[in-house]
Structure 1
């Protein structure tokens, strides 16, 4: 009996090894097939290539169709040497161009007994439409009256410190920065890898100040993303394919310094949303607050998302059907002297936190530290975000659910050509 059992075990082991060998041999083909299938799906659903060119007239990541994931990070310079700043911008430019062009690879000749120059986190992964966008904060030009890098004369007039808005609860550790870097892609691991790579290159020259990851809802760039509040976010937005509108509202023109022309100003603001409180509201009240229908995104009284907002029609009580202080009405160009900004916002979720509620019984609660990573680009923040939000921060119905907890304003220079580095024109 023992011999029979041993024989059976040997046969089963041989069969197992044979099957394992066949499976192992098939893995490369399976991977290729899967990769091809995924790639085909991405191209079909998104109608976008896997790569976005880093080089060009404008920086990528501004007019680029919004991706699924983002990682924003601000840095402070620890070196006060002009040549170190230039060195860092050169390193960042070169690395960003390489990472945007495709996945990382291990050097087959590398010494395995030494640390690798690549973490391996993106080996075999597609570039996933990775874009990396750089910006310069006001403090890079003048920090408490000190011109560390000889750039004070290059500071644009529009690059100002954002004013304090009603309701702001900005955390200093999550506000400002000398330099900004934002990686966006359709794969969260790709953006995380890119930021880590750039942070490592900054060692000894700049240090990380604050960061925020984000994501979008939805799968097609042609569709408006839906946020955590359940509403479509950013229906009224500048058409990035409309060159006239982009030149009018987004790209810096002759009014700016020469090194910034064809660039833009970026405002970014992490906005914590009381999602628990919001979810307890009646849908009708939510729609009145936003000024749009929840499911379709259509304006109140209309049938389709991109129908024109009705800001004048009154109901039987004499009130406009779109509440005057609803979010949609407050941000509408018609109510802001035609001012427009290019919104490029993401949702975020940092887990949980303990905060004091802003409504009765004003207790300490543990809730989700989640909300909107608001981001917008404009030709001049004084006639863009600052003009719009000064009024909105006071009477927008949505304010009872939102708290601005950080952010900053950064000048994003134009794109670069091979052989140049980002912001090169600043240095004369």
Structure 2
């Protein structure tokens, strides 16, 4: 059932809540079990909370196994909209699963601490330092990560609280970022592209789900080495602060030139609609490139990066004013891909040097995680890593 289904019953400017629409949004359920974790390709969600943990001193492989088993049970139960225990809190009483997804990943540092260095994929090699990075180490990296997405904040908080309680037996919280996006039912249609705090549509160029190209871009193949990553993915996280006060000094035409798209419709400046392929060779009547040379859409394109492509999922954050009075706001940027070295890294190396947008953003935190493959009923996330695959 699609997020926002039933929203058409609301007339323009009607502030009333449509009960049918609310019920549909609350009832939306994603299937937990499967080849891939569902949070990777989930429909756009209103809330996205990413949390990283570090192993406590002396924590053992057996404790990590028990934790992943608990997290699997929590994810499967909460995503189905069921109570975790008979006596748990009533935080989500009367609510459905609300499109909840729980996505679990591991960092290279976890495998090192568990003595599993031989199981570290080449794809988990540390990201290079990029030009103009301003990363805060304490807000970056981590041994484990959990991404919780949902269309209801209480549903997301309920699941995250359960995950954090389970983790307390062998982990400490390293950092957490809380993000938001367009509310379910508030966009023109359920399939509409979300907007970010710069007012731009965000995610137009993502690979199309249900295609072989999508699977090749996002998921580790069936022949992946090590075998425990087959069906998994790699997540690059970046906390990108937007210099909104500087951005606001540009008029609409100036902002569109930086991005390379019409601000309202998302259409490339070369013409068409949001999903028209940009024409990077087109010139205006005055002889200028229709899409400027430094425009973000041009510099981030597969054509400019030897075919490099990622699945982009992003949430906004707005944490109030900084000490200098500027807004502490921007993007929780999430990029899923089969190989970061041939995906995010290629693109970001180019963007950091020549993208006009780089003047208006700062990368302040970063993380790279192996997103575990999905699992079947009776199994748990990470079993192939911690126990090996009997079929191998």
TM-score, length of structure 2 as denominator length: 0.89
In the other structure, the counterpart of 2:62 is 83
1:334 aligned residue (294, 297, 303) = 303
Give unmatched runs, 5+ long, in structure 1.
1-35, 111-117, 143-147, 355-364
CA-to-aligned-CA distance 1:63-108 (integer Å, 9 cap, x gap)? 111211111100001143111111111111111111111053773x
In the other structure, the counterpart of 1:190 is 155
1:408 maps to 2:376: no
Distance 1:297 1:43 in 2: 31
In the other structure, the counterpart of 1:92 is 71
Secondary structure, in 3 states, of the residue corresponding to 1:195? helix
CA-to-aligned-CA distance 1:368-417 (integer Å, 9 cap, x gap)? 11101111110100000001101101111011110011020100111011
Q: For the Cα contact (< 8 Å) 2:77–2:84, is it kept in 1?
A: no
In the other structure, the counterpart of 1:7 is none
Distance 2:309 2:66 in 1: 36
Distance 2:244 2:225 in 1: 40
1:208 aligned residue (173, 177, 186) = 173
1:125 maps to 2:95: yes
Give unmatched runs, 5+ long, in structure 2.
1-16
In the other structure, the counterpart of 1:269 is 238
Q: For the Cα contact (< 8 Å) 1:69–1:186, is it kept in 2?
A: yes
Secondary structure, in 3 states, of the residue corresponding to 2:316? strand
Shift of 1:301: 3.2
1:251 maps to 2:196: no
In the other structure, the counterpart of 2:377 is 418
CA-to-aligned-CA distance 1:347-387 (integer Å, 9 cap, x gap)? 11112212xxxxxxxxxx21211101111110100000001
Provide the alpha-carbon RMSD of the alignment. Answer: 1.8
Q: For the Cα contact (< 8 Å) 1:174–1:406, is it kept in 2?
A: yes
Q: For the Cα contact (< 8 Å) 1:103–1:125, is it kept in 2?
A: no
Structure 1 runs (4+) greater than 2 angstroms displaced: 103-107, 217-221, 314-319
In the other structure, the counterpart of 1:60 is 38
CA-to-aligned-CA distance 1:175-216 (integer Å, 9 cap, x gap)? 000000010000112112211110111113011101111111
Distance 2:152 2:378 in 1: 28
Shift of 1:311: 0.4
1:179 maps to 2:144: yes
Q: For the Cα contact (< 8 Å) 2:98–2:155, is it kept in 1?
A: yes
Distance 1:205 1:133 in 2: 19
In the other structure, the counterpart of 2:108 is 138
Q: For the Cα contact (< 8 Å) 2:229–2:373, is it kept in 1?
A: yes
Distance 1:43 1:99 in 2: 17
In the other structure, the counterpart of 1:41 is 21
Q: For the Cα contact (< 8 Å) 1:264–1:414, is it kept in 2?
A: yes
Greater radius of gyration (CA)? 1
Q: For the Cα contact (< 8 Å) 1:103–1:123, is it kept in 2?
A: no
